[in-house]
Structure 1
Amino acid sequence: MDKPQRGYWCECWSEDLTTEARPVLRASFDAYTAPQADRWVAVALRTISPALDPDASQDAWEWLYDGRIATRKALLRAEPCTVTLTQSRTRLTWTIRPVIFLPLAHRQGVGLPSCTDDFKPH
């Protein structure tokens, strides 16, 4: 069995600021390095920046030029990071958290618990 591996769990949430609705998970990503984690956010910000209003676009580019460096340093210290933009009445939040990825057990492996035989694919 493989060993646990350090990495980062990344999520993107959206929130409608005009309602009391809960935030909605829009995307998630498992990264195995700090550069891979902050690159995921950077690609998203570069992709949506042309559609953002001027203030939100400026916030995005400020993070891309300055905030990304601070984010990378924090990730290398195993600190969680958040990037948030507000566009009109929508708040977008990207989170990056250090995690330890546990290896998955193979169903054909030896010594699996007896409950694994209860699973029947549809």
Structure 2
Amino acid sequence: MNRALPRTYWCHADVDHAQAAGPLDDLVTTAPGPAVAWMREAVRWLTPRLDRDAFHRAWAWLGDHRGAEAAVQSLRRGQGYAYELPTSDGNWRWTAYPVSALPLLPTDPPLRSHG
């Protein structure tokens, strides 16, 4: 049987400055909408800490609802999506990638052979 693996979306955030603190926990979700929502929420969380220019760039991206929908569609088509925001604290990057999820093994006790 040749079944396709279920698709999930892996979301990740990182910054190139070791001193910068942020919501760097990854997320795995089964739909592209929550992946983009996670990215947007992470950017929104960072905005009070940004300098004026980075703040305006971040809010312009957050206000681009067509862009957010295009990101969801890109993920649905199997393409990754990234948003990058240079700041005075470092270069932030949020990414979401479609990945195939391996099925988990059942939690039942293993079968034992009799012999």
Q: TM-score, length-normalised on structure 2?
A: 0.76
- Count of matched residue positions in the alignment of Structure 1 and Structure 2: 103
Aligned equivalent of 1:23? none
Aligned equivalent of 2:35? 37
The runs of 5 or more residues in structure 1 that have no matched partner are 18-25, 113-122
Structure 1 moving runs of 4+ over 2 Å: 106-112
CA distance in 2, matches of 1:102, 1:70: 27
State the shift of 1:4 in Å.
3.6
Pair 1:54-2:55 in alignment:
no
CA distance in 2, matches of 1:101, 1:59: 34
State the shift of 1:41 in Å.
0.7
Q: TM-score, length-normalised on structure 1?
A: 0.72
Deviations 1:73-119 (A, max 9, x none): 2112221011111111411111100011112213544459xxxxxxx
Task: Flag the 1:46–1:111 CA change in 2: closer, same or farther, 3 A.
Answer: same
State the secondary structure of the residue aligned to 1:69. Answer: helix
Contact 1:80 1:95 in 2 (8 A): yes
Q: Percent identity?
A: 30
Give the root-mean-square deviation of aligned CA atoms. 2.4
State the secondary structure of the residue aligned to 2:37. Answer: helix
Structure richer in strand, relative to its length: 1
Query: Structure 1 residues 34-43 or 102-111, which shifts more?
Result: 102-111
State the secondary structure of the residue aligned to 2:74. Answer: helix
State the secondary structure of the residue aligned to 1:12. Answer: strand
Aligned equivalent of 1:11? 12
Contact 1:13 1:27 in 2 (8 A): no
